[in-house]
A and B are shown apart, each in its own frame.
Chain A
Amino acid sequence: MTEAAQTREERATALKGLGTARKRVEDVRFTQGKGNYVDDIKLDGMLFGDFVRSPYAHAKVLSINTEAATALPGVVAVLTAADLEPLGLHWMPTLAGDKQMVLADGKVLFQGQEVAFVIAEDRYIAADAVELVEVEYEEQPVIVDPFKALEPDAPVLREDIRDQLEGAHGPRKHNNHIFTWEQGDKAATEAVLAGADVVAEEMVYYHRTHPCPLETCGCVASMDKVNGKLTLYGTFQAPHAVRTVASLISGIAEHNIRVISPDIGGGFGNKVGVYPGYICSVVASIVTGKPVKWVEDRIENLTSTAFARDYWMKGKIAATKDGKITGLWCHTTADHGAFDACADPTKFPAGFMNICTGSYDIPTAYLSVDGVYTNKAPGGVAYRCSFRVTEAAYFIERMIEVLAIKLGMDAAELRRINFIRADQFPYQSALGWEYDSGNYHAAWEKAMKAVDYEGLRAEQAKRLEDFKAGKTRKLMGIGLTHFTEIVGAGPVKNCDILGLGMFDSCEIRIHPTGSAIARLGTISQGQGHATTFAQILASEIGIPADDITVEEGDTDTAPYGLGTYGSRSTPVAGAATAMAGRKIRAKAQMIAAYLLEVHDDDVEFDVDRFVVKGAPERFKTMKEIAFASYNQAIPGVEPGLEAVSYYDPPNMTYPFGAYVCVVDVDVDTGVTDIRQFYALDDCGTRINPMIIEGQVHGGLTEALAIAMGQEMAYDEIGNVKTATLMDFFWPSPFETPNYQTDWTTTPSPHHPIGAKGVGESPNVGGVPCFSNAVHDAFRPFGLTQTNMPHDHWRVWKVAHDLGLHG
């Protein structure tokens, strides 16, 4: 069929643009094992680095003897803090304005901390040499409890900042205190609480966990001494920021550093931060003149790079006796571990925890967060999360349930009464955010209808009757959640990391034959950017997605951007892509008008071409326009067809969703069976429904893991109890249920194509939903709050403490 003979619909379909369940272009290589991940990189003469790590959570380092290790054939060098100190690299800045030891400088502050770096010819020799490094420690008292850390006589963990009363985020009130962050109106909130009909109060703990992508963190540093150029390959979610940080701390000019993120085997926030392994590899490459590879093993990954959560959230929620919420108060004690290595925008030391009013119209609220040091690994990253929105969502969705219990109300109805109404958007929250758009009631009713909520409650009541009559030992729980996300960081006016504004970018070149390359400042870790960004562009510029290459992750070629985390790629880089596409289209319009010999205003864009208004038979396709841009001298128009956009979003986007979970709980064994999970997501305009559904499945499964067993647990002397996948709960296909997915579409009014982002929603909404389901099963017996994870023994303990074992 010729182009001219195609209908408009056929031409649109051929583009595989917005809304198409386009198959992923990445998969051809991945399915045959031809991905290129960092550990697949092999350079001539490459050496391997491996760490000596602390077995203790808190100890003085009295001596390090590297003699035997250095003498081992094949060992090139062993670095300690003493070697890094002259370079000023024995400490490094963290993303949160703190500093962190690269290698132990006189003491260690968590189990698994980096003490020395061995460089050898292969990873086997390196591992042998690690065993030969002798370190003498003197154990110190360990603090793993953030509340104990703040006691007056608690041991001082961070000697380096002892008695410094000012931190990166304001005054410090104790040697183990990092910051206090306050939002909202304290006095007004306290007044509301004092005068309320009903106040429900609870401590909600979101336990420490870990992003644990299947691929661990790693890098290959290669210093070319001839050209003075450093190339750093690594598992970086923010390659451009890594380049800038590397330049600032190494003193190598930024144009002489090339950072490349190859294929990344999952990130989930684990790969945002800067780790000692990167610094040591770079130093080692500079020292040896050879490429140096460092790749964590799983134990190192879980114990040393980037934990998440660990928030103790004390809440008070006030309401009228009819259930209208009048105020919310929250004080959070945040365990940051040994160094504050959170990856939050600078002005938000507790991330977007101030989204904790959730989906509800709460007129008055107050939040305060105390950051605290303990003898645990540093981090506090946004694990499949936009900067603490998971904690916030868990907090408010638990508090709603707690309030429903106090009021004796149905929790679905309580939510209904308090949702922000569709006519209230844009909605100004009491804690400072402007929600862009939403229709919560519509989503909620759709969800309730889809699961037959009344029917489920009736079945639950019958089950309870049977349980009380001794006919069954299984209780049924119905978990509800309506979450509101805040993603797409963010507006440069209030969002930066290390002073770098959180815009993002896209650069497009149209080739003479009408195909194109788009380069972005983000980096896919499985989200399928090469597929979806081409779809955005296809719809914007009328070139088929199949003819558009999307490239990311090479700082020498891609435009500067802040990377991929916090569901920011679609809201920010996706917007940049659309805006750059529109610049292309504007120029194409001028070219088309010239070719058609009409005025610019007399042509209009039509799917894949410009047509003369009122004369659709007169047109120029984008392919023809592309060629013309290279071979025709058009007065007043530069040759070529390229555009770049740096997009500074005017606001965040606010995806939302309504989830329902049905669980059976065996009170005698603590075994839970998720027998139904319904997830309705509203992520605004849907770019690729297939990919959206995949993101939802994946996020829900991580939520399942977190809610039902996955934790970073420490014993009282700071030993990590969950350092391998034996104990770190990661469900297999056998423990994972099927999910029902659904959607509504409420476009973002400020995003060029109305998209909001989806990758993190299911994790944000999933955790409270699973957790609420377990809580709900025990509600008739008086349970108001129990801490996650809801693994077998903890669920059993709940039943036991409620007297259900006779």
Chain B
Amino acid sequence: MSKMHVKMTVNGKEVEALAEPRMLLIHFLREELNITGPHIGCETTHCGACTVDLDGKSVKACTVFVAQANGANVTTVEGLVNDDGSLSVLQEMFREHHGLQCGFCTPGMITRAHRLLQENPNPSEEEVRFGMSGNLCRCTGYQNIVKAILAAAAELNAAREAAQ
């Protein structure tokens, strides 16, 4: 089983490792890099617990080989905290609005919501529900997740306006 030299940027840091090409990105992050925020839920691209941001796209890391991600820029939930280590607005809103219970889907949810708000800073409830439809949660019934994302959008927009 020949290994390949893999190089990528993860949460702003350059990483290099030897890995089998078949290793799934989720295992590479979790086992080689000890980045255990992204989780494994369904393994068939339905649940989104493994969602990471890869070159500006939300992807399910259970269905990407590390070889495909060679050279990529990857951000996980760990990379979304503010520079001073405090919770980002989105993370804070999940807490504020009780958008999580067991916490297992949360890293994928927040990582996906982060990209959604980058692309659509002012989404409707319908757009949030559609934009988050690749992420499953067993605990919350989504109502508070949707509320949290809408609240984060409002707060981020207010901050942007204030800055202008």
| A residues near B96, Cβ cutoff 8 Å | 23
B105 touches A214 (CB 8 A): yes
| B residues near A730, Cβ cutoff 8 Å | 46-47, 136, 138
Which partner residue on chain A sits nearest B80 by CB separation? A32
A31 touches B49 (CB 8 A): no
B141 touches A700 (CB 8 A): yes
- Taking the nearest CB of chain A, how far is it from the CB of B65, in angstroms? 12
Chain B residues with a Cβ closer than 8 Å to the other chain, count: 59
By a beta-carbon cutoff of 8 Å, the part of chain B in contact with chain A is: 20, 22-23, 27, 30-31, 34-44, 46-47, 49, 76-78, 80-81, 87, 91-92, 94-96, 98, 100-107, 110, 128-130, 132-146
Which partner residue on chain A sits nearest B90 by CB separation? A31
Chain A residues with a Cβ closer than 8 Å to the other chain, count: 56
Q: Is A55 an interface residue (CB 8 A)?
A: no
By a beta-carbon cutoff of 8 Å, the part of chain A in contact with chain B is: 23-24, 26-35, 37, 39-40, 42, 122-124, 212-215, 263-266, 268, 297-298, 525-528, 690-691, 693-702, 724-726, 730, 732-734, 736, 738-739
B107 touches A33 (CB 8 A): yes
A733 to B76 Cα, complex, angstroms: 22
Closest 3 CB pairs of A and B: A33-B37, A526-B102, A265-B104
A693 to B144 Cα, complex, angstroms: 9
B138 touches A37 (CB 8 A): no
Contacts A213-B102, A691-B98, A697-B141 given; indicate if A32 touches B78 (C-beta within 8 A): yes
Which partner residue on chain A sits nearest B41 by CB separation? A214
A214-B139, A694-B140, A701-B140 known, 9 other contacts, Cβ within 8 Å: A23-B95, A23-B98, A42-B31, A42-B34, A124-B22, A690-B98, A694-B98, A730-B136, A736-B129
B141 touches A30 (CB 8 A): no
| A residues near B39, Cβ cutoff 8 Å | 37, 39, 214-215, 265
A691 to B144 Cα, complex, angstroms: 11
A215 touches B41 (CB 8 A): yes
> Per DSSP, are chain B's interface residues mostly helix, strand or loop, or mixed?
loop
| B residues near A694, Cβ cutoff 8 Å | 98, 101, 139-141, 144
B104 touches A214 (CB 8 A): yes
Contacts A528-B101, A724-B42, A733-B146 given; indicate if A30 touches B106 (C-beta within 8 A): yes
A30 to B133 Cα, complex, angstroms: 21
B42 touches A725 (CB 8 A): yes
- Taking the nearest CB of chain B, how far is it from the CB of A268, in angstroms? 7
B37 touches A698 (CB 8 A): no
| Residue of B44, B80, B101, B136 with highest tally of chain A CB at under 10 A | B101
B104 touches A266 (CB 8 A): yes
B94 touches A697 (CB 8 A): no
B129 touches A734 (CB 8 A): yes
| A residues near B105, Cβ cutoff 8 Å | 214
> Per DSSP, are chain A's interface residues mostly helix, strand or loop, or mixed?
loop
B94 touches A27 (CB 8 A): yes
Which partner residue on chain B sits nearest A695 by CB separation? B101
Which partner residue on chain A sits nearest B49 by CB separation? A214
Task: Show 27 residue pairs from A and B whose CB-CB distance is below 8 angstroms, ordered by the A residue.
Answer: A27-B103, A28-B87, A30-B103, A31-B110, A34-B37, A35-B106, A37-B36, A39-B40, A40-B30, A42-B31, A214-B102, A214-B138, A214-B139, A215-B104, A266-B102, A266-B138, A694-B98, A698-B141, A700-B141, A701-B142, A724-B46, A725-B47, A725-B136, A730-B136, A730-B138, A733-B145, A736-B141
A325 to B137 Cα, complex, angstroms: 41
A214 to B46 Cα, complex, angstroms: 11
A31 to B144 Cα, complex, angstroms: 14
| Residue of A213, A215, A690 with highest tally of chain B CB at under 10 A | A215
- Taking the nearest CB of chain B, how far is it from the CB of A604, in angstroms? 36
A286 to B125 Cα, complex, angstroms: 53
Contacts A31-B95, A37-B39, A265-B102 given; indicate if A213 touches B138 (C-beta within 8 A): yes
| B residues near A526, Cβ cutoff 8 Å | 101-104, 139
A33 touches B36 (CB 8 A): yes
A739 touches B141 (CB 8 A): yes
Q: Which of B22, B35, B110, B144 contacts A697 (CB 8 A)?
A: B144
| A residues near B47, Cβ cutoff 8 Å | 214, 725, 730
| B residues near A40, Cβ cutoff 8 Å | 30, 36
Contacts A31-B94, A37-B104 given; indicate if A733 touches B46 (C-beta within 8 A): no
| B residues near A690, Cβ cutoff 8 Å | 98
B81 touches A525 (CB 8 A): no
- Taking the nearest CB of chain A, how far is it from the CB of B131, in angstroms? 9
A732 touches B136 (CB 8 A): yes
Contacts A526-B101, A527-B101 given; indicate if A33 touches B78 (C-beta within 8 A): yes
